[in-house]
């Protein structure tokens, strides 16, 4: 699938070339995971045998394995795994905190949003090139732009347009967004959510950005999606400044989603901050694990193609 002129911000020709070479170099990873994702975890009538289970009253007699009955004098039902096209829905956090970048005017770097959008667009390109349906939305405290999952020729351009839609600096609220997706996505599929998981408008005004209450609300949202049968992968995008806290000397920190600021000596805060961010990341991992959602932490200074192959490799290893 070729990139359209409007896709150049998030799908540069060089990135497309790298991902294309990556797909060839790591064919087993890319092809394996996308092919594996086509195999629905839901049981149904299909051509590929999955397993036997004991017959219970009310089962369709047409699914009884009579050969097993002839050998063992016991009734077993044949279950199958249905082959389906992947329905991929990309959910990208466009809230104010995602605009942070550790770069400067002299050495610009990707913001967390631009990084997440680039990774999402790359994943959309890979999926669409395999004939899969791809949809996308951008959210903050509500869904602001979206395109439903489709396989049509210009779908990549529609995904890019969604990612490039004008954004306003608004705070994050993940629970109502997850509730909206649970109500509006009509069919089970793979949802990949890109976010820093920071902040939540439902949090108290004095709460920290890493408030566990915000994570609790997010996990409730993920639980709603899991109850609807969706497969979920969470990609937490963080800036290296947020992970390493490299600041030195008097610094003024300004909130992106709360009207608050603090002027301080960062060296006095560094140890406590790193402990807090480590605890926050650990809780995000544990929460996703409890809900059987894939989780990946990505640094925005890491090459996008490297992050993508790591994500696909993780998906492949989980499918084995």
What are the structural domains of the chain?
A: 5-37+84-319 (3.40.50.410), 39-83 (no CATH)
**The pLDDT value given to residue 193:** 97
Calculate mean pLDDT across residues 118-139: 87
- 190 against 214, higher pLDDT: 190
For all residues of the chain together, what is the average pLDDT?
A: 77
Using DSSP bridges, classify how beta strands 133-139 and 87-93 pair: parallel, antiparallel or unpaired.
parallel
Residues 76-97 have pLDDT tens digits of: 776 654 445 678 999 999 998 8
pLDDT for residue 4 is more than 60: no
**The pLDDT value given to residue 2:** 47
pLDDT for residue 175 is more than 70: yes
- Top mean pLDDT of 29-33, 120-124, 244-248 is at 120-124
> Pick from 133, 131, 112, 232: which is nearest to 181 by CA?
232
Instruction: Give 314's contacts (C-beta < 8 A, 6+ positions apart).
Output: 294, 296
pLDDT for residue 282 is more than 80: yes
Calculate mean pLDDT across residues 2-24: 51
pLDDT for residue 127 is more than 70: yes
Calculate mean pLDDT across residues 108-118: 86
- 214 against 208, higher pLDDT: 214
**The pLDDT value given to residue 37:** 47
Instruction: Give 230's contacts (C-beta < 8 A, 6+ positions apart).
Output: 185, 188, 189, 190, 191
């Amino acid at each position: 699938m070729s990139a359209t002129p409007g896709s150049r911000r998030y799908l540069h020709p060089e990135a497309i070339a790298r991902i294309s070479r990556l797909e060839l170099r790591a064919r087993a990873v890319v092809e394996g995971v996308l092919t594996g994702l086509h195999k629905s975890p839901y049981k149904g009538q299909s051509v590929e045998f999955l397993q036997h289970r004991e017959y219970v009253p009310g089962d369709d007699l047409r699914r009884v394995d009579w050969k097993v009955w002839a050998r063992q004098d016991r009734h077993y039902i044949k279950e199958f795994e249905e082959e389906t096209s992947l329905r991929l829905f990309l959910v990208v956090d466009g809230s104010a905190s995602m605009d942070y970048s550790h770069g400067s005017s002299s050495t610009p770097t990707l913001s967390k949003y631009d990084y997440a959008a680039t990774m999402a667009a790359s994943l959309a390109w890979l999926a669409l090139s395999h004939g899969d349906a791809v949809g996308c939305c951008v959210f903050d405290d509500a869904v602001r732009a979206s395109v439903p999952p489709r396989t049509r020729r210009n779908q990549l351009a529609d995904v890019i347009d969604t990612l490039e839609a004008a954004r306003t600096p608004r705070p994050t609220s993940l629970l109502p967004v997850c509730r909206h997706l649970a109500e509006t996505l009509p069919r089970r599929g793979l949802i990949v959510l890109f976010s820093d998981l920071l902040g939540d408008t439902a949090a108290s005004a004095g709460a920290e950005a890493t408030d566990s209450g915000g994570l609790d609300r997010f996990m409730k949202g993920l639980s709603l999606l899991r109850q609807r049968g969706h497969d979920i992968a969470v990609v937490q995008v963080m800036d290296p400044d947020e992970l390493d806290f490299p600041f030195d000397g008097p610094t003024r920190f300004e909130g992106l989603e709360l009207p608050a600021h603090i002027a301080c000596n960062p060296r006095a805060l560094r140890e406590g901050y790193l402990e807090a961010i480590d605890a926050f990341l650990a809780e995000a991992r544990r929460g996703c694990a409890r809900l059987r959602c894939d989780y990946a932490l990505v640094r925005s200074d890491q090459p996008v193609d490297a992050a993508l192959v790591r994500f696909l490799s993780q998906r492949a290893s989980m499918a084995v």
